[in-house]
């Protein structure tokens, strides 16, 4: 038994996909070979990291390491990992580490495996409208919990190479991915990939693995490498559904492989970017209890197709004028810090005298008036029922009209929240909704995050 | 601990009210000067310097008492600026009334002003203290639109029935505004236009929402025993009530969005003070806070003018029409006047003033003796509520 491995995992694909880059397309049926995963306008790499991490549990006294990887950080100077740790409830002893760039998913995973920590990777990829690879990139996130010793996948070996060459790049503040002619880097990538694969398999004393997955920003290099490594091509099929998801791609491919694995299966996973990193895993009997309820494939197949115009608006690539309303105020640092439990953890209060739940948390009970006799009451895993709702055409939003709902939370307490990820565009009184951590808005260069509500994600029928 | 009420303790002896308009050529200062000047002219021989103390209500058109003392060049006078959401104008009156009732002053002035049209935003806006960013920034139509489906659901109205009721309220108040030269909108609006208007929030169309305008109002208040020194037709305060909600409706599941509990409390209080047991029979007219059509619908029940679940039928039966059994918003209401926040509550009292003095012209309610002004702010589940009753005679 190896001393390192993955004890739990989670993948998140947003609820939306883009199947066409034609304006005014009447049909969003998947008639091209490629579609891309699209995060909603209120999602970013912090919120998607949170989504992938929803199964994580922590002990208060635990010392923990959380490795967060993205090529699209929400802030440059400020650590996105700190925000994520606050939301997922990581204990105060946590060391939060940020990794950056297309290689960062592999770096974070390597660190988590080495230090029995947690690895989270998330990306939002945007190609310039009209560019050839507009549908070839996508959004998503993945999480690996490498704590404990009950691994679902033990790490057998790893191998790395580093090489300097210019293929994909982006300056700070730039929206769009830049790339050199794909033909230039094919051979470089393929050689790096085969080298690390050979090295890692040799260390693991294996000739081949049950599954091989290759993550590479150059799709032609990835296709050739898969062929040479005799991969079944399932990783390529997934990529055609969701696009290359940047720093999250390696993680999503491993999650997909784990979704399909049986005890005893082996996985060779390779990430190629500015070099290459290979990992060889052996799946254990613990996988049976830890398979995620919505597999990567199910999530990919139930994404809801959207019009190109709507996608462009969500990414602020076209500016459509909304109602004449003031810009929302930026949140202020001291109240955000004071109220972090509520803002990031959705922690309300429950009266010790009458059990009434107050949301937001209140020092004076709204029912019995008792002062300072309350305990914390977390609502982030609690769904609720719509008590009332409205469609507000006067609210500025990148996906009008805004739906606001008054939610009676299971277990008590009521709060109002914006409805998100709602493909039907409708909400009924009495409907069940789930909390979802989202970006409310950004003003004055400050992101304002809080919990919205959304219809429950179901395995549903395919929209393909 | 007791609420001793304000019956027959103070009277309004002079009032002025600007037209409510898009006053592109007038500032908040100009509007206040106009309203104060008109109020002084309504009582012969009354001079600005006779007034001992002043209140000015405004939500966002000024800070501090200098909002009034500077434009009017009041020297050495106490001026208090008040704010209480959309009941700001009423709050100005309420504090001024207490000041004369206490004996601290003999004659005081309550003013209210709002200059909204210097902003180009749609609807009302507000500035809030720095926050953690977790509160929903409800628009007013969004928040009040929650009333309509909740009411329809509770009392079994179909979507079409609900629409017909809301349309009647808007149609009635616009009809009433036609007769009022101070109203912002003076055209009758057809039921078809109201029904088919562009949607703003939930079932609310443009004509279910009150407009945005500029305006100012001023009232001169004295102790009841002094009232006839200033005018032969004072109006006497019969009851005064105010409740600031705990906002628990927005936090707890017992609230169902078919009532303003704060309003119901003020109604009971103010009727007790005025000795009214059957408001629908005893009141000559009611000015209520019709910020949105479902607000007026729900208020009819909270004010006891309709039984629970029956206001919609009374609306359709014309009970609250100008010539109906219980005229509501005969001046045109917020619907025709728009809602300059600091002025609205006092504007309602201005209609009571005209009606009880038999000066309301074409829209005069014959033989009006008791009139109510009901003003609220905030939103369903989290509001502040004001109510006052005025009578034309003492006792």
Assess B376–A contact: CB distance below 8 Å, yes or no.
no
Asked whether the beta carbons of residue B145 and residue A390 sit closer than 8 angstroms, the reply is: yes
| Residue B169, CA distances (Å) to A257, A386, B197, B283, B313 in order | 63, 28, 15, 19, 12
pLDDT tens per residue, range B275-329: 999 999 999 999 999 999 999 999 999 999 999 999 999 999 999 999 999 999 9
pLDDT tens per residue, range B187-225: 999 999 999 999 999 999 999 999 999 999 999 999 999
Is B4 in contact with B29 (CB distance < 8 Å)? no
Task: Please tell me which of the candidates B132, B139, B252 has its beta carbon nearest to residue A336.
Answer: B132
- Nearest residue of chain B to residue A349 (CA atoms): B251
Range B95-120 average pLDDT: 96
Q: Is A207 helix (H, G, I), strand (E, B) or coil?
A: coil
Task: Please tell me which of the candidates B132, B133, B200 has its beta carbon nearest to residue A393.
Answer: B200
Asked whether the beta carbons of residue A429 and residue B149 sit closer than 8 angstroms, the reply is: yes
SS (H, E, C) B86-155: ECHHHHHHHHHHHHHHCCCCCEEEEEEEECCCCCCCCCCCCCCCCCCCCCCCCCHHHHHHCHHHHHHHHH
Assess B260–A contact: CB distance below 8 Å, yes or no.
no
Task: Please tell me which of the candidates B131, B202, B255 has its beta carbon nearest to residue A390.
Answer: B202
Is A305 in contact with A28 (CB distance < 8 Å)? yes
pLDDT reported for residue A463? 42
Domain with CATH 3.40.47.10 in chain B: 10-119+214-234, 140-209+237-391
Residue B86 is among the residues annotated as catalytic for this protein: yes
CA B163, B165, B171, B177 torsion-angle sign: negative
pLDDT tens per residue, range A358-410: 999 999 999 999 999 999 999 999 999 999 999 999 999 999 999 999 999 99
Domain with CATH 3.40.47.10 in chain A: 5-314
Range A255-284 average pLDDT: 98
* CB crowding A26-64: b at 16 or more within 10 Å, else e: eebebeeebbbbbbbbbbbbbbbbbbbbeebebeeeeeb
The superfamily in CATH containing domain A5-314 is Thiolase/Chalcone synthase (3.40.47.10)
pLDDT band at B98 (very low <50, low <70, confident <90, very high): very high
pLDDT band at B12 (very low <50, low <70, confident <90, very high): very high
A395 vs B contacts (CB less than 8 Å): 137, 139, 142
B145 vs A contacts (CB less than 8 Å): 390, 392
pLDDT reported for residue B123? 83
- Nearest residue of chain A to residue B144 (CA atoms): A390
CATH number of B10-119+214-234: 3.40.47.10
Residue B168 is among the residues annotated as catalytic for this protein: no
Distance of CA B86 to the CA centre of its chain: 8
pLDDT reported for residue A30? 56
Q: How many CB atoms lie within 10 A of CB B362?
A: 8
Is A49 in contact with A157 (CB distance < 8 Å)? no
Among candidate residues B182, B180, B44, B33, the one with its CA nearest the CA of residue B109: B33
| Residue A232, CA distances (Å) to A43, A196, A211, A225, A237 in order | 32, 19, 7, 12, 10
- Structure-token pair, residue B73: 């060049």
pLDDT reported for residue A29? 62
Assess whether the previous peptide bond of A240 is cis (omega < 30° from 0). Answer: no
What DSSP string runs through A338-365?
Answer: HTHHHHHH-EEEEETTT--EESS--SB-
What is the rounded distance in angstroms from the CA atom of residue A215 to the CA atom of residue A142? 14
Task: Please tell me which of the candidates A325, A339, A414 has its beta carbon nearest to residue B121.
Answer: A325
Is the ipTM above a cut-off of 0.90?
yes
Residues 280-339 of A with CB under 8 A from B: 323-326, 328-332, 334-336, 338-339
What is the rounded distance in angstroms from the CA atom of residue B208 to the CA atom of residue B203? 9
Q: Which residues does residue A449 pair with via DSSP β-bridges, in sequence order? A: A439
State how far residue B51 is from chain A, nearest Cα, in angstroms.
Answer: 40
Domain with CATH 2.40.50.840 in chain A: 333-454
Task: Please tell me which of the candidates A324, A332, A390 has its beta carbon nearest to residue B120.
Answer: A324
Asked whether the beta carbons of residue A335 and residue B131 sit closer than 8 angstroms, the reply is: yes
Assess A362–B contact: CB distance below 8 Å, yes or no.
yes
Give Cβ neighbours of residue A237 (< 8 Å, ≥ 6 apart). none
Average pLDDT, chain A: 94
pLDDT tens per residue, range B235-273: 999 999 999 999 999 888 889 999 999 999 999 999 999
Range B72-89 average pLDDT: 98
Catalytic pick among B17, B86, B209, B288: B86
pLDDT reported for residue A464? 37
pLDDT reported for residue A241? 96
Q: Tokens 């923990």 correspond to what residue?
A: A64
Residues 398-427 of A with CB under 8 A from B: 404, 406, 408, 412-418
pLDDT reported for residue A135? 95
Asked whether the beta carbons of residue A338 and residue B132 sit closer than 8 angstroms, the reply is: yes
Range B161-168 average pLDDT: 98
pLDDT reported for residue A326? 86
Range B150-156 average pLDDT: 96
pLDDT reported for residue A462? 43
Domain A333-454 has CATH 2.40.50.840: yes
Catalytic pick among B168, B291, B339, B352: B339
Assess B141–A contact: CB distance below 8 Å, yes or no.
yes
Q: Which CATH number fits domain B140-209+237-391: 3.30.930.10, 3.40.50.850, 3.40.47.10, 3.40.50.2300?
A: 3.40.47.10
Say if residue A27's pLDDT is above 70: no
Assess A232–B contact: CB distance below 8 Å, yes or no.
no
- Nearest residue of chain A to residue B126 (CA atoms): A326
Assess B254–A contact: CB distance below 8 Å, yes or no.
no
HSE at residue A142, side-chain half, CA atoms within 13 A, is 25
Strand segments, DSSP code E, in A194-298 are 211-215, 266-272, 275-283
pLDDT reported for residue A31? 54
pLDDT band at A460 (very low <50, low <70, confident <90, very high): very low
pLDDT reported for residue A420? 98
Q: Is A5 helix (H, G, I), strand (E, B) or coil?
A: strand
pLDDT reported for residue A327? 86
Average pLDDT, chain B: 97
Say if residue A237's pLDDT is above 60: yes
What is the rounded distance in angstroms from the CA atom of residue A196 to the CA atom of residue A223? 17
Q: What is the dihedral of CA B273, B277, B280, B285, to 10 degrees?
A: -20
Angle (CA) B378-A433-B260 rounded to 5° is 25
pLDDT reported for residue A266? 98
**Residue from A42, A370, A388 to probe the interface with B (highest B Cβ count within 10 Å):** A388
pLDDT band at A459 (very low <50, low <70, confident <90, very high): low
């Amino acid at each position: 038994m190896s001393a390192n491995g993955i004890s739990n995992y989670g993948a998140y694909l947003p609820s939306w996909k883009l199947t066409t880059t034609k304006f005014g397309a009447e049909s969003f049926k998947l008639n091209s070979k490629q579609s891309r995963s699209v995060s909603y306008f209120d999602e970013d790499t912090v919120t998607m990291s949170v989504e992938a991490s929803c199964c994580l549990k922590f002990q208060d006294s635990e010392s923990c390491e959380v490795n967060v990887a993205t090529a699209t950080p929400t802030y440059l100077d400020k650590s996105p990992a700190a925000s994520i740790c606050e939301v997922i409830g990581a204990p105060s002893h946590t060391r939060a580490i940020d990794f950056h760039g297309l290689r960062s998913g592999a770096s974070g995973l390597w660190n988590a495996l080495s230090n029995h920590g947690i690895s989270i990777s998330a990306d939002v990829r945007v190609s310039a409208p009209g560019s050839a690879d507009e549908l070839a990139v996508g959004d998503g996130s993945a999480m690996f919990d490498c704590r404990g010793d009950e691994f679902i996948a033990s790490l057998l070996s790893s191998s790395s190479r580093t090489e300097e060459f210019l293929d994909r790049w982006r300056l700070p503040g730039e929206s769009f991915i830049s790339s050199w002619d794909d033909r230039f880097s094919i051979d470089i990538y393929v050689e790096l990939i085969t080298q690390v694969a050979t090295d890692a398999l040799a260390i693991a004393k294996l000739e081949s693995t049950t599954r091989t997955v290759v993550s590479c920003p150059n799709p032609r290099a990835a296709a050739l490498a898969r062929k040479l490594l005799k991969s079944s091509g399932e990783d390529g099929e997934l990529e055609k559904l969701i696009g290359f998801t940047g720093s999250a791609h390696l993680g999503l491919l491993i999650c997909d492989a784990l979704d399909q694995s049986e005890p005893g299966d082996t996985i060779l996973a390779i990430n190629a970017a500015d070099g290459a990193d290979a990992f060889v895993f052996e799946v254990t009997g613990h996988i049976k209890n830890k398979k995620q309820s919505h597999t990567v494939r199910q999530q990919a197949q139930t994404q809801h197709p959207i019009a190109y115009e709507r996608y462009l608006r969500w990414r602020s690539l076209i500016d459509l004028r909304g109602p004449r309303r003031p810009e929302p105020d930026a949140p202020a640092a001291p109240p955000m810090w004071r109220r972090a439990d509520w803002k990031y953890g959705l922690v309300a209060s429950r009266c010790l005298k009458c059990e009434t739940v107050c949301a937001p948390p209140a020092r004076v009970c709204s029912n019995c008036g008792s002062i300072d006799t309350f305990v914390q009451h977390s609502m982030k895993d609690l769904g609720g029922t719509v008590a009332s709702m409205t469609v507000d055409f006067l609210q500025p939003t990148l996906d009008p009209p805004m739906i606001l709902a008054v939610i009676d939370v299971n277990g008590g307490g009521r709060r109002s929240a914006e409805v998100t990820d709602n493909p039907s565009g409708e909400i009924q009184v009495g409907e069940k909704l789930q909390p979802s951590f989202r970006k409310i808005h950004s003003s004055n260069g400050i992101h304002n995050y809080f919990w919205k509500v959304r219809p429950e994600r179901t395995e549903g029928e395919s929209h393909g | 601990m007791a609420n001793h009420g304000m019956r027959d303790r103070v009277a309004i002896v002079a009032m002025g009210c600007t037209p409510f308009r898009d006053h592109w050529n007038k500032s908040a200062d100009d509007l206040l000067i106009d309203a104060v000047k008109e109020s002084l002219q309504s009582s012969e021989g009354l001079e600005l310097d006779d007034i001992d103390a002043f209140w000015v209500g405004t939500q966002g058109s000024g800070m501090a008492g200098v909002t009034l003392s500077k434009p009017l060049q009041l020297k050495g006078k106490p001026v208090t600026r008040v704010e209480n959401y959309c009941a700001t104008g009423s709050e100005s009156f309420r504090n001024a009334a207490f000041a004369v009732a206490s004996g601290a002053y003999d004659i005081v002035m309550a003013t209210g002003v709002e200059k909204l049209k210097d902003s180009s935003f749609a609807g009302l806006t507000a500035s809030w203290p720095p926050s953690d960013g977790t509160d929903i920034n409800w628009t007013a139509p969004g928040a009040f639109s929650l009333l309509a489906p909740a009411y329809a659901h509770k009392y079994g109205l179909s979507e079409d029935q609900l629409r017909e009721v809301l349309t009647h309220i808007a149609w009635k108040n616009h009809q009433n505004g036609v007769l009022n030269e101070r109203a912002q909108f003076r055209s009758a609006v057809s039921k078809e236009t109201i029904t088919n208007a562009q949607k703003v929030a939930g079932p609310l169309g443009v004509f279910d929402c009150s407009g945005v305008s500029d305006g100012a109002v001023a009232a001169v208040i004295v102790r009841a025993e002094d009232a006839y020194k200033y005018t032969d037709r004072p109006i006497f305060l019969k009851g005064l009530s105010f409740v600031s909600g705990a906002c628990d409706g927005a936090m707890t599941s017992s609230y169902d969005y078919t009532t303003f509990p704060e309003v119901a409390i003020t109604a009971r209080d103010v009727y007790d003070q005025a000795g009214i047991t059957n408001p629908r029979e005893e009141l000559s007219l009611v000015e209520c806070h019709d910020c949105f059509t479902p607000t007026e619908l729900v208020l009819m029940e909270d004010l006891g003018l309709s039984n629970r679940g029956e206001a919609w039928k009374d609306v359709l039966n014309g009970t609250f029409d100008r010539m109906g059994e219980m005229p509501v918003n005969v001046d045109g209401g917020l619907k025709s006047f728009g809602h300059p926040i600091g002025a609205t509550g006092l504007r309602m009292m201005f209609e009571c003033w005209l009606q009880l003095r038999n000066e309301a012209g074409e829209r005069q309610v014959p033989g009006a003796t008791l009139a109510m002004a009901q003003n609220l702010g905030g939103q369903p589940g989290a509001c502040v509520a004001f109510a006052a009753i005025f009578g034309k005679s003492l006792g």
